[in-house]
Structure formats: C-alpha cells, structure tokens
Structure 1
Amino acid sequence: MSILQLKLLGFSGKIKILHLTWTAFFISFVVWFNHAPLMLMIMDSVNLTESEVNILLLLNFALPIPARIIIGMVVDRFGARISYSTLLALSSLPCFAFAMAESFQQLAWARFCLGFIGAGFVIGIRIIGDWFPARQVGVAEGIYGGWGNFGSAAATILLPGLALYFGAENGWRYAIAVTGILSLAYALIYYRNVEDTPPDVPYLKPRRSGAMEVTSIKDLFLYICTTVPLYTAMSLLTWQLSTPEADLLSTPWVIAINIIIWALFFFQACQIVDINAERLSRPIDSIHHYPFKQITILSVAYLMTFGSKLAVVSMLPMFFFTIYRETQAVSMIDAGLMASSFIVMNLIARPAGGWLSDRIGRKLSLTMFLAGTSLGYYLMSFIAGDWPILMTISMTVLCSIFLQAAEGAVFAIAPLIKRPMTGQIAGIVGAYGNAGAIFFLALMGHVAPSTFFIILAVCALASAILARRLEEPKEFITEIMPDGTLVKIELD
C-alpha cells in the first residue's frame, strides 16, 4: 500500500482522524518535553543545582510507566475521543503549575504529574487501529507515531525563541504556559471533531476491565512475568532519586515507596488471576485464542528501540562535544545540531517502517530493522575525535533510520493482536519503552560511551533474534461483534 494512496492532503474520513490524532500526540509531546530546552533559564530563575536538574529529568519518565497501562484500560473502555480530550485538558493543570513554580519542590511535583501526558501515545494507537484497514495500519500508525513524536523536537526548536520573545527573566514561564493553553484548547477541538470508529462500525470493548484476558495457563504466567520489568524500572528510578547525586529521597522513603510499588504488583497479579481464573477453568473457543508471547516480544523490542533512543538522545550532545571540542573545535551548539540528526529522521523512518511492514511482512520487517539497529550501534561505538564530522553524522543517521523504522514496525503489529484490547496492549508495550529509558539511562552513567553503544548493539541483536518467534497474522483476523456475529478483517 503506497503512502500516496492514503491521500494525506485530504481532511475527511480516516485521514481526518489521522491528522487530528497525530496532532494531539504532537501537542502532548510538546507539553511533555517543554522543560528540556528551557532548563538553563529555569536553573537561573529558581536557583537550581545540577543534581536538582537531573532529578527533574528523571521525574519526567516516572509516571508514564503506570500511566500508559492505566490509559490503555481507559481507552479500551471509554474510547479515544473522551480519553484524549480529557488527558489533554487535565494535563494543562500541572503545566500551568510548573510555569508558576517558585521552588524546586513545586517544580518536581508539577513535572512528576506532567509525566502522565506521556501516556497519550497509547490512545492514538487504538483509534488509528480502529479506523484504518489492516493493510494500511502499519503506515498509518507509523505516521501517527513519527509525526507526533516530532513534538519533542518542535519544543526544542520553538520554545527558547518564544521564551526570549516574552522576556529573559520570566519568559520561560510564559512559554511553558502557552503549551498548557495549547493543550487545553486542542482538547476541545479533538472532542468536537473525532469519532471513535467509522460510521456503522461498533466500538469493540473488552468484556472485563482491570487486566487483559488470556487464553492459556502458560500465557497467564507469562502475562504476570511480563509486568515484572515495569515495576523493576520504577524501583530503579526510586533508587536513582536516593543516590548522593540526586539526594531527593531518604532511606525510609525509598523503603516505603518500594513497598508500595511491589504491593501494586501483587495487586495487579491478583487482578490478572481473578479475571482469568474462571474462564481458564473450561475450554476456550479457538476464535478467542491469541498468543500472549506476541505482546511480550513487542514489549522487549520497544524497550530496546524507544528506550535506547531516549537514552542516546540524552547523551549524544555531550558525547560529540567531548570528543570533538579539541580535535575539531566543536562548540556545544554545534554538538547539539549534530545530535539532532539522530531524532529528526523520526519524521520519515517511523512511517517507512510501518509501510514496509504492510508491504513485505511484519515479522520480517521488525527483525530486519532490529538487526540494522544492532549494526548501527556497533559502528557508533568506534566514533572517535579523528573521524570526519560528516562520517559521524552519516553513521548516526544510519543507526537512527533502522531504530525508528523498528518502532514503526512494532506498532504495525500491535493493533492486529486482539483488537478489543489494543489500548491495553499498546499500554504495556509503550510502558516498556519508558522502562527501557530508565534502564539505559542508569547504565549510561556507569560505562564509557563506546561500551554503552556495544551493549545497545548486543541488546538490539538479542531483540532481533527474539522477534523471529513472532507469529504473523495470515490472510485475515476474526473479531466478534457485540451482537455475537463474526467479522473477518482482511490483511491483504
């Protein structure tokens, strides 16, 4: 299916839904990352230390892990129209609170709460999957993810200039507040212009909320095991906030928070068992069967791709500055521009990854892109100060293309596993991406950059091998309508 056949210049039907939804995602990422390009101004205004800045950056990734799981359940239950509108509107409140903060504690709480908007990604995965036929879902999800993700880059490009326009002292506050106003206004626009499904197509909901239904005892245990890394990431983040460098949490607080984290894990495990125990006690019709390993494999792949991307984007500017400042007189501004080459390819590579998945096969595409990512990271481990800058940028772009195409390939598969639970599936997979960011950011501080890239290469190769165990849907998938009738959804 050609991208041109989607008629992206139109604004009706499914194309209207695509444009309105990637714009909602774009705005959510502008709000989520609105602090990063203004951090130097915020430091001067509120008299923050470097350790306090690092804490704010970590807090930005804390809430999206549980939030994506929660939002996945919400969107499956209430639909994308209400879910996205409500999320954008409510998220404007901590955005305004961050803009008005006068102390580190106020900034920290506002930034922690603002992390919830990072869960908006899950909502779009559900509505795009419902509006687009399976043969186009890969490229549509790729456009949604790729163009929406660019919101973080747009924030970096536009907000510093906007802050300077408003004035040096409090300009950052007005710039942050503008993003909150934008989020609040677009919540109304989205609510008034979007429908959850095409006309005459019912909205498929899971029969029970609180956890996904599985179809075997083996999948039940795999589901519980798949949630463990998410809670581990939250424990790791808690520990990072207690280190001497951060010094935000005392030992009693760390113990208390970890007790809460693992109590929530135990509660979720009980929910999973409770929702599935009765149905697993009797034979389940084959029409309901789906392999849960699909979700686990995609989760690992997204941990590797999105998680490593966030970590690499965080370290590349300083890495390039360190190795080139003496050999080729590169400034911090130059290093930042060089590093931007890693993220800007998201506009093209992620849709291309979804498009190729639709064309040549989903499992093959994901495996190929993960293998290419492994090669790219391995080659980046050799970057040194005597390399020509053009060669370094070319290597960075090559790795980025494979990495972000793999992200597109992941969500070319996710909406086709079990359509009534797409939100919850996307919630788990997306949460793994944020967990990956925490894992890789923690690792980054303990190894040299070359070693870090080699570890990423090994992880990407392991993910590619694991992706070979995916079961790609063939010819059609079958869904049960609310009235009990069966509908075959063509994949070709």
Structure 2
Amino acid sequence: MINSAQTKSTKLSLFDFKNISTRTFWITSIAFFMCFFSWFGIVPFMPDVVKDLGLTPEQKWNSIILAVSGTVFARLLIGKLCDKYGPRLCYTWLLMLGAIPVILCGLVQTPLQFLICRLFIGFIGASFVITQVHTSLMFAPNIVGTANATSAGWGNLGGGANRLGMPLIAAAVVSFGVADANAWRYSMIIAGVICFLMGIVYFFFTQDTPQGNFKELRASGEMISTKKDQIGFLTVLKDYRIWILFLVYAACFGIELTVYGTMDDYLQNTFQLQRVTAGNIVLSFALMNIFARTLGGFFGDKFGKLKGLRGRVLFLSFILTIQGIMLITFSTTTSIVVGFIFLILFSLSVQMAEGATFSVVPFINKKAIGSVSGIVGAGGNVGAFLAALLLKSRSAVAEQAAIVANEGLGTDVINAAQASASASAVSNGYFIIGFVVILTGILALTIRFSTEDENISNMEIKKASLKLVTN
C-alpha cells in the first residue's frame, strides 16, 4: 500500500470542501447512508409484504436472516478488492450492481423471489467496509478513529431513517395515483435508482487517496506494488487479533442489526405499545448514530494519545462490557419508562463500541487495511445471523407451544398468548446475548501490539499533531 501519511488530513473539517479528504468523507458517508437505507428499506413495509405475497412467519424470519447473511461473503470479498483496485472503483460497482436487486425487490410476485432479492440486497451492506477503507486512506492516525466512526455512524442512519423516509416516498407515489397496495414496490424501485445514480457520483467525484487513484499511482511508480510490499490474504488470516475483532464486531454491530429487526415487535408485545410508537422508539435508537458512534471513535483516539495502541484496546473492552450490562438490564425490565432508559443507554454503548472497534482496525495491518476491514466487518453480520437464529428458534418454539395450549379459545386469546410467548422468548434471548457480549469485552483485552507498532503509531500521531499546529 502507498505511504500517504504525509498527505492525509489531520483534522475533520466538515465544511472544507476544497480538501479531497473532506469531500471523500461526505460522499462516502452519503453513499453508505443510501446503501443502508435500501438494505433495510423493506422493513417498514413488512406487514404489507406479508399480506401481498402471503409470507408465513417462517419465511418472514428467513428474510431477516438472509438479508444479513449475504453481506458476510460480500464484506470478505470487497475488503480484498479494495486493497487491489482501490475503494473508488469498488464503491462505484457495488452501488450500481447492488441497485439491481433493490429494484427487482419491487417487482417480485412470489415468496421465493422475495427471499432471493433479500439475500442479494444484503450485498450492499459491504459498503461499510469500503467506507472504512476510504476514510482510513484519507485521514491521519490522530483523527482516523473519529473519521471512521463518524462516516460509519452517519451511514448507519440510513438503517433507521428508512422508517420515516420510505413511508414518505410511498405517500408521494400514492399522491400520483399509485394504489396503496403497490406503494411499497415503487418505493423500493426509487431507492434502487438512487443507489445507481450514487455510483456514478462516486466514480466522478472521489479518488482513492489524497495523492490520486491506485491505477495512476502504480503507473507513475508512486505506489509500490511489488510482491515484497504486498501482504497475502492468508497471512492476514493468521493474525489472531483480526479474529478477536471479528468477534467484537459481531458482539456490537451484529447485535445492533438484530435489535433493528426485532425491537418493534418486542416493544409491542412486551409493553403493549402501538406499532407507530414502537417504530418511533426504534427510529430514535437509530438516530443516535448521529453522535454515538463518533463518540466511540473520538474516545478511541483520545485513549490512543494517552496510552498508545493499548489505550484504544482498553477503551474498546470497557465500552463493550458496558453494552452487555445495559442489554441484560433492559431484557429484565417490565416498566416502559425504565426499559426506555436502558434501551437508550444500550443504544449509546453499542454504537460507541462499533466506533471504538474501527479506531483499532486501521493499526492492525496498514498494508492490508481492506482485507482487515472486510474480515472484521463480516463479523458484524455473522453476529447478526447467529443472534437472529437464537431469537428465531426460541420464539418459534414458544409461540407454537402457546398456540397449542390455547387451541379452541378464540383468535384473540391465541394471538395474545402468542405475543406474550414471543416477548418472553426474545427477552431471554437478549439476556443470553448480553452475557456473551460481556465475555467478548473481556476477550478483547488479549489484543496486543508490538513495541515497534506502538513506537510507529506514537511517531505518526506526533507528526500529525505537529502538522495540525503548523496549519
């Protein structure tokens, strides 16, 4: 990889649009936002989809699992491609190709077609990896954690903003004479078209590094690409620290994804909230990405200045442990007021843990940032997949038992019993997941850096700080 430490931005100046690092930050954040907006765009319409396509409860749960499963493989692949071709081309193609299943989702006619589209739509979740690689290439070590966390957090907003944005798009198309029953289809098509157009913007208005694109830099000899300089993917896989961070990201982002997909029903079943009220609470959870993930990266950078690379790890372990405690406490409460307080605290800590994770990632292997980011990013989706499987299995068994036990007592009684059983099962699932998160936080303490890595990092931070003062 190119050594661009002298040209990376040492501060996050959000309105300095003449700065290529700032422009890239905004474009990659917006692209990531649109990918997440489209990835979870169908969530607000699931009741309509279930009715329109006749989905069974099993198929509904499978659609949630498939949506996060496809992303695992895409993230593993896209990280390696970023190291080879650069983030600019990778993002361009991901946005343009990823738009296809989003558009096709609005045209499906059968449950099978819907499930296939959900699987392939999940591929655009790999956009997170490219965003982290691109900001890592654009910002210096003293600010890279904050830049990574902010771009990721603002991009993650798309996963919650769609709860407000997609219904607005649907209302707009209905105002043009489209039938209510077909509004969700047009909304998905529009989201896909926007993603495609964003790919064109990415190609023409960004570049791979502050010095230029990979292709031109290699041609001019400014970017060395000899075998000696390259790091093999197998070598990357052998670094135990990557796999710990894989588990860490599974325990934070993976759980956030799972909560996005299950919290609406849980709040309705546990606290008897209306659908709109539960949706607004989950939306507020997502909106905390405006600042919460940034805080994780910010404190990661601060602890890095105080205690070196070890300081970043210590903060990551601390905030991940807090996240587990908050989830356990939330899962046991029966008061909506207390539950809301701990849900907000959980939201804050889980997003800070995500930011803290990627304040460590850029320092694991600087010659293979893409591969490292891809593997760690994939961990988030593996965590979501496993957590969804846990909640699905517990909920399905409990709901079926409730249906059998109340058979013949009327639809209302059966529905109430089923909702209560589901809430209890999901609550127990959250409780188990919380303990797993705490254990992962303790495991994070085993991440170590060599004395040489610590010295190089300290030197880079001092240089960046000096440059910041002189500017």
Instruction: Normalising by structure 2, report the TM-score.
Output: 0.79
Q: Structure 1 residue 16: deviation in Å?
A: 1.0
Q: Note closer, same or farther for the CA distance 1:9–1:439 as it changes in structure 2 (3 Å cut).
A: same
Q: Note closer, same or farther for the CA distance 1:35–1:424 as it changes in structure 2 (3 Å cut).
A: same
Asked if 1 retains the 8 angstrom alpha-carbon contact of 2:34 and 2:158, the reply is yes
What are the equivalent positions in structure 2 for 1:21-420 lying under 5 Å apart?
21-167=28-174, 168-199=180-211, 202=222, 207=227, 212-214=233-235, 223=238, 292-325=239-272, 330-360=273-303, 361-384=311-334, 387=335, 389-420=336-367
Partner residue, 2:456: 476
What secondary structure, in the 3-state scheme, does the structure 2 residue paired with 1:169 have?
helix
Partners of 1:460 and 1:323 in 2: CA distance:
23
Partners of 1:173 and 1:423 in 2: CA distance:
35
Whether 1:6 aligns to 2:18 is: no
Gaps of 5+ in 2: 1-8, 175-179, 304-310, 395-424, 466-471
What are the equivalent positions in structure 2 for 1:458-477 lying under 5 Å apart?
458-472=435-449, 473-477=453-457
Partners of 1:188 and 1:165 in 2: CA distance:
25
Q: Structure 1 residue 431: deviation in Å?
A: 0.9
> How many percent identity over aligned positions?
28
Cα deviation per residue 1:381-400 (whole Å; 9 max; x = unaligned)? 3211xx2x332211111111
> Structure 1 stretch 307-316 or stretch 193-202: which is displaced more?
193-202
> Structure 1 stretch 70-79 or stretch 469-478: which is displaced more?
469-478
Q: Structure 1 residue 117: deviation in Å?
A: 0.9
Partner residue, 1:267: none
What secondary structure, in the 3-state scheme, does the structure 2 residue paired with 1:62 have?
helix
What secondary structure, in the 3-state scheme, does the structure 2 residue paired with 1:158 have?
helix
Letter in 2 for 1:7: S
Cα deviation per residue 1:170-194 (whole Å; 9 max; x = unaligned)? 2112111111111111111111011
Partners of 1:403 and 1:20 in 2: CA distance:
25
Cα deviation per residue 1:136-195 (whole Å; 9 max; x = unaligned)? 000000011100011111211111221132121321121111111111111111110111
Partners of 2:338 and 2:290 in 1: CA distance:
22
Asked if 2 retains the 8 angstrom alpha-carbon contact of 1:294 and 1:470, the reply is yes
What secondary structure, in the 3-state scheme, does the structure 2 residue paired with 1:11 have?
coil
Asked if 1 retains the 8 angstrom alpha-carbon contact of 2:92 and 2:202, the reply is yes
> Structure 1 stretch 37-46 or stretch 166-175: which is displaced more?
37-46
Partner residue, 1:241: none
Asked if 2 retains the 8 angstrom alpha-carbon contact of 1:353 and 1:408, the reply is yes
Partners of 2:458 and 2:143 in 1: CA distance:
17
Give the number of the structure whose residues are more often helix, by fraction: 2
Partners of 1:87 and 1:299 in 2: CA distance:
23
Partners of 2:27 and 2:267 in 1: CA distance:
37
Partners of 1:446 and 1:185 in 2: CA distance:
40
Aligned length: 402
Letter in 1 for 2:331: S
Cα deviation per residue 1:400-430 (whole Å; 9 max; x = unaligned)? 1111101001111111211221111111111
Letter in 1 for 2:166: L
Asked if 2 retains the 8 angstrom alpha-carbon contact of 1:131 and 1:197, the reply is yes
Q: Note closer, same or farther for the CA distance 1:306–1:203 as it changes in structure 2 (3 Å cut).
A: farther
Asked if 2 retains the 8 angstrom alpha-carbon contact of 1:139 and 1:351, the reply is yes
Partner residue, 1:436: 383
Asked if 2 retains the 8 angstrom alpha-carbon contact of 1:206 and 1:420, the reply is no
Asked if 2 retains the 8 angstrom alpha-carbon contact of 1:353 and 1:405, the reply is yes
Asked if 2 retains the 8 angstrom alpha-carbon contact of 1:378 and 1:453, the reply is yes
Q: Note closer, same or farther for the CA distance 1:450–1:102 as it changes in structure 2 (3 Å cut).
A: closer
Asked if 2 retains the 8 angstrom alpha-carbon contact of 1:476 and 1:491, the reply is no
Asked if 1 retains the 8 angstrom alpha-carbon contact of 2:10 and 2:140, the reply is no
Q: Structure 1 residue 213: deviation in Å?
A: 4.7
Partners of 1:431 and 1:350 in 2: CA distance:
18
Asked if 2 retains the 8 angstrom alpha-carbon contact of 1:373 and 1:460, the reply is yes
Cα deviation per residue 1:295-343 (whole Å; 9 max; x = unaligned)? 1111110010111112222222222222222xxxx32222222333433
Q: Structure 1 residue 4: deviation in Å?
A: 12
What secondary structure, in the 3-state scheme, does the structure 1 residue paired with 2:136 have?
helix
Asked if 1 retains the 8 angstrom alpha-carbon contact of 2:104 and 2:117, the reply is yes
Instruction: Normalising by structure 1, report the TM-score.
Output: 0.76
Asked if 1 retains the 8 angstrom alpha-carbon contact of 2:161 and 2:283, the reply is no
Asked if 2 retains the 8 angstrom alpha-carbon contact of 1:476 and 1:489, the reply is no
Asked if 1 retains the 8 angstrom alpha-carbon contact of 2:98 and 2:123, the reply is yes
